[in-house]
Amino acid sequence: MEPKAKVKRVSKTKQSKSADGCFQNGVFSNGFCSMNGAKLPVVRAIDDDEEYGKRKTQDANFEKEILVTSANNSELCVTQPMRSLTVDEYAKAFKSFLDHSTEHQCMGQFNKEELPGIIASLGNGKSTINVLGVGSGTGEQDLKMIRIIQAVHPGIFIKNEVIEPNPQHILAYKEAVRNSTDLKNVSFSWHQLTSMEYEKQAKEQNVQKKYDFIHLIQMLYRVEDIASTIRFFHSCLDCYAKLLIIILSGKSGWASIWKNYRHCLPPTDSGHYITADDIKVVLEGMGVTYQVYNFPSYWDITECFIEGDTTGGQTMDFLTGTKDFMNSAPQDLKQSLLQALGQPECSTKKDGRVMFGNDLSMFVVNS
């Protein structure tokens, strides 16, 4: 599931006060990012300088141009405002991420080593196993898990339902099913909805279907209420059922970057920067039993350190959720972030390559 483009406006201000991160009110207090202490260009409201009072932003999503000091502090210059990725831009950056990371291989390792044992009790002898995928995208991971269910429960009928808001992803999912010859005794139905819309619909109709296996794979970053979403789908579990949640590990490089730089970047569609640590808090609060499986995953980000490299640019765009980050971000922010990416908290080096920590945590929650 992909985020909707959303851009935070630079608000009108007369005073240079910092609040809630780098870009709130369009101001860096004394040129410092409040989150990481990096020296950043001072952003001033246009209204504060009559010389630039008549200039208007070229970006319709912003009310003001962003004025920053030049490298030698001798004069002001105008920079292109930072903005979030659109749906299409995100999809392109995400493909680059998958091409250069081991995320799907990591999930494949989990599927091979742990999933058969986890799903062995599904259905408790019933003739049909009901599966629900939430935010399934193009279905690549769904189909792999369905094949494992088939292998563990030969001959059983599988009813697979999918919640996915992106129509292009649903079309790709359907095409993948049509091109598969080994999906016998499996039915498919798709709901072009977000998880929140599905939940609202179920509550309004007072109909709550039960499932034997529900999976939320890398999608909780984009829901409005994470705890409520987990509670709802857990309530949809039948007896002897399992809820699978796959999320970034709290020890991943993402956790370090989000902790220190989240307020220096444009907001995502919902702005949730969560890891396995946050999911543990929710599950503990629910009082449910669960198991956690941690698997290493890496993302080769070497090219982001090569100035002007296309792959490196896509890497930084996906990492920051920002369109053309290397050309739109303040120079000191770029330098600070690149330096952080090379630190042990984020990356390791292997054969001369910089490998960003993309470790995943798989939660298996019992009904």
Q: What tens digit of pLDDT does each residue of 179-199 get?
A: 999 998 999 999 999 999 999
Give the model's confidence band at 272: pLDDT under 50 very low, under 70 low, under 90 confident, else very high.
low
Give the model's confidence band at 80: pLDDT under 50 very low, under 70 low, under 90 confident, else very high.
low
Confidence at residue 32, expressed as pLDDT on a 0 to 100 scale: 39
If you search the block for the tokens 């030049």, which residue do you land on? Answer: 70
Domain 83-366 belongs to what topology? Rossmann fold (3.40.50)
275, pLDDT greater than 60: yes
Q: Give φ, ψ of 8 to 5 degrees.
A: -85, 130
Each domain of the chain, given as residue ranges in start order, spans 83-366
Average pLDDT over residues 245-254: 95
Question: Regarding predicted confidence, which is higher, 285 or 60?
Answer: 285
Question: Regarding predicted confidence, which is higher, 239 or 36?
Answer: 239
Name the average pLDDT for the chain: 81
**pTM for the whole structure:** 0.77
* Cα–Cα distance measured from residue 313 to residue 303, given in angstroms and rounded to the nearest whole number: 8
What number of CA atoms fall less than 13 Å from residue 223's CA on the CB side? 26
- Nearby residues of 166 by Cβ (< 8 Å), 6 or more positions away: 1, 2, 87, 137
44, pLDDT greater than 80: no
274, pLDDT greater than 50: yes
276, pLDDT greater than 60: yes
Question: Regarding predicted confidence, which is higher, 271 or 222?
Answer: 222
Confidence at residue 242, expressed as pLDDT on a 0 to 100 scale: 97
Give the model's confidence band at 264: pLDDT under 50 very low, under 70 low, under 90 confident, else very high.
confident
Average pLDDT over residues 274-303: 96
- 336-355: per-residue pLDDT in tens? 999 999 999 999 999 999 99
If you search the block for the tokens 């870009």, which residue do you land on? Answer: 23
